[in-house]
Amino acid sequence: MQLEELRRTKVVISCAMTGTSTPRAKNPHLPVTPEEIAEDALAAWRAGAAVVHLHMRDDAMNGIMDWERFEKTVRLIRSHKECDVIINCTSSGGPGPDGVRSTASRLEHFKRIPQIEVGSFDAGTFNWGDAKEFNNDPVFLKELAHTYLEHGVKPEVEIFDMGMLGNARHYFEKLKLLQEPLWCQFVLGVLGGMEATPENLQYLVRHLPEGALWSATGIGSGHLPILYSAIALGANGVRVGLEDNLYLDRGVPATNAALVERAAQLVRLYNKQPATPAEARQIMGIPPLER
């Protein structure tokens, strides 16, 4: 199948497995250990996910940027030889093992683990609700982009508001630090970013750089409005998973696999097909998987 036809007929489903802060008390299915995350990633792949997006948790279930936990999780996923899912890791999942938030801990796993194919590139700084500052200053973003270029990692440009889309355009078009095709992930519904509404998603899509590809997710109650809207607007991908949304229905805890299955069903109902990992690599401009 030609690349243009792939991008027209296939939808890349990403599953964001666990995030950094949601407590397991809110959903008993939330995976937190490397073993649990790897096993859940396998289930998500079997359900139709082409990409799994990984965060790590420490022994207290808090987010941590620990390259050894990333390495163990990636190794466990890849131990299943039949599983060719694309591995996407965060660059912003909490402090390092020493308890300090540092550029080094945010980059180390990309430098040490060659099996990581995609990494998040959060294109700006903003207040994450009233809890924290989500810092992605220009010095860090340039170092992150150079690290991705050096180690062959595809940036997933996470966009939380319109200003971040402008930043992404700058790094892509002027600085030439982000590879073609530009792959944008709209993350809507975080307090401090844009609300998760169809109107906001439509506005962002209209302002994408020419030739950019895009996916989208909505946080919490914004999950289904953005999922439906993204498919209707011709998204190249959609993101689901317990990082973004804990429930399959009101009061019904979800699993990652169930969220993927529902997304795959909606894609098929729209007369498209979920992309396989191999097809997703072609769509996103990622080299074929090497065992």
| pLDDT at res. 21 | 85
| pLDDT at res. 193 | 96
- Asked if 45 contacts 119 with a C-beta cutoff of 8 angstroms, the reply is no
C-alpha–C-alpha distance, residues 221 and 38, integer Å: 27
Of the candidates 130, 69, 74, 77, the one whose C-alpha atom is nearest the C-alpha of residue 96 is 69
| pLDDT at res. 1 | 81
Q: Where are the beta strands (DSSP E) in the chain?
A: 10-16, 51-54, 86-89, 118-122, 126-128, 132-134, 154-159, 183-188, 213-218, 237-240, 247-249, 252-253, 273-274
| pLDDT at res. 234 | 97
Q: How many CA atoms lie within 13 A of 83 on its CB side?
A: 25
Q: Give the chain's residues under pLDDT 50.
A: none
Tokens of 219: 């946080």
Q: Is the alpha carbon torsion for 175, 180, 182, 183 positive or negative?
A: negative
Which backbone phi and psi does 144 adopt, to 5 degrees? Answer: -60, -45
Burial of 137 (0-12, 13-18, 19+ CB in 10 A): exposed
Of the candidates 110, 164, 116, the one whose C-alpha atom is nearest the C-alpha of residue 136 is 164
- Asked if 245 contacts 20 with a C-beta cutoff of 8 angstroms, the reply is no
Q: Which residue matches tokens 């939808």?
A: 11
Of the candidates 30, 27, 34, 26, the one whose C-alpha atom is nearest the C-alpha of residue 15 is 30
Give per-residue pLDDT as tens, 26-59. Answer: 999 999 999 999 999 999 999 999 999 999 999 9
Tokens of 201: 């998603």
Give per-residue pLDDT as tens, 124-161. Answer: 999 988 888 999 999 999 999 999 999 999 999 999 99
| pLDDT at res. 106 | 97
How far apart, in Å, are the Cα atoms of 49 and each of 69, 85, 222? 22, 7, 20
State the amino acid at position 103 in one-letter form.
T
